[in-house]
Structure 1
Amino acid sequence: MVTMSTHPNIQAVQDALESADATDAAGQPCQVRMLPDAVHTAAAAAAALGVEVGQIANSLIFDAGGEPLLVLTSGAHRVDTAKVAADLGLAALKRATPEFVRAHTGQAIGGVAPLGHPKPVRTLVDTALAGYPEIWAAGGVPRAVFPTTYTELLRITAATPAEVA
């Protein structure tokens, strides 16, 4: 695995990690890393990293009445949009279009990171991720990832823990 490249999205994520003093499971500063190939699914990311699919923090952007909602869910889960909408008191939660995702995160679907966006995005973190000592999140492009922990992910994203499946 290679350390980060100079892609602006990756740099924005790395800058956000550094600003937050984010650490990995070993207590070391989080570093965006480049995989040999793009990974567009949790299963592909887990295989490339040699970890369980549940350790992958999928970044899913939803349209919550015109506002973005980022749900960081375990790769072993599918988000129950009706449940999440009801829990948040929303009439509906819709899968966002690629244009909506890019407009609110500056990143393309498949590489959306939990942070490094132009402005903060309301975020939920799947409580199932708490069951893993190390989790991996996207780093701004489909080949970029970074290791972290559930506690750190909550902290650096100012997220709300939630049962999302």
Structure 2
Amino acid sequence: MTDALPARSRLVAASLEEAGIPGKIVVLPDAASTAALAAAALGIAVGAIANSLVFWSDDEPLLVMTSGAHRVDTTALAERLGRGVIRRATPEQVLAATGQPIGGVAPTGHPAALTTVVDEDLAAFPQIWAAGGTPHTVFPLTFDELVRLTGGTVARVA
């Protein structure tokens, strides 16, 4: 029941429904603001967590949906994408770009569409989990659904 969800998660749920993605948002009893915490709460491999990281590049936000199993190599990713320097966004930039707090950034439900890169390593998992707009909410989806939902470019990010 989406009425019981936090406001930010209701926006994410509406976006999922509009995109025809059947995964429902799950409210966790404890905050899962890191990939490791989310994986432990769900009892899954950390690599199956689609970690939403917001960076700043070429004067705009860049959302990178990366496997929770590794870190983004920003220098290599900038070269692959033909961008200038990619830097981690500040908490204020993250909130302004997504409307969601760090630790709960979903791949959707933002005030405006974000340029998005989806980690090719997420394709190894039949089901992945992403944040649902708050550190207490997550939802399941497939790699193909994530790419379709975000309109993202699939790339190696590590």
Per the normalisation by structure 1, the TM-score is 0.93
Check the 8 A contact 1:107/1:140 in 2, yes or no: yes
Counterpart of 1:12 in structure 2 is 11
2:36 matched residue in structure 1: 43
Cα deviations across residues 15-55 of structure 1 (Å, max 9, x unaligned)? 00000001xxxxxx111110110011111100000000000
Aligned residue type for 1:96:
A
CA distance in 2, matches of 1:70, 1:4: 27
Question: Aligned AA for 1:8?
Answer: A
The amino acid across from 1:10 in the alignment is S
1:151 match:
144
Gaps of 5+ in 1: 23-28
- What does 1:120-159 align with in structure 2 at a 5 Å threshold? 120-159=113-152
Cα distance in 1, alignment partners of residues 2 and 42 from structure 2: 14
Q: Across the two proteins, how many residue pairs are aligned to each other?
A: 158
Identity of matched residues, %: 56
The Cα of 1:91 is off from its aligned counterpart by 2.1
Q: RMSD of the TM alignment (CA)?
A: 1.3
Shift of 1:3: 7.2
Unpaired runs of 5+ residues, structure 2, are none
Q: Is this contact kept in 2: 1:35–1:143, CA < 8 A?
A: yes
TM-score by length of 2: 0.97
Distance 1:75 1:111, change over 3 A: same
Q: Which runs of 4+ in 1 moved over 6 A?
A: none
Matches within 5 A, 1:30-109: 30-109=23-102
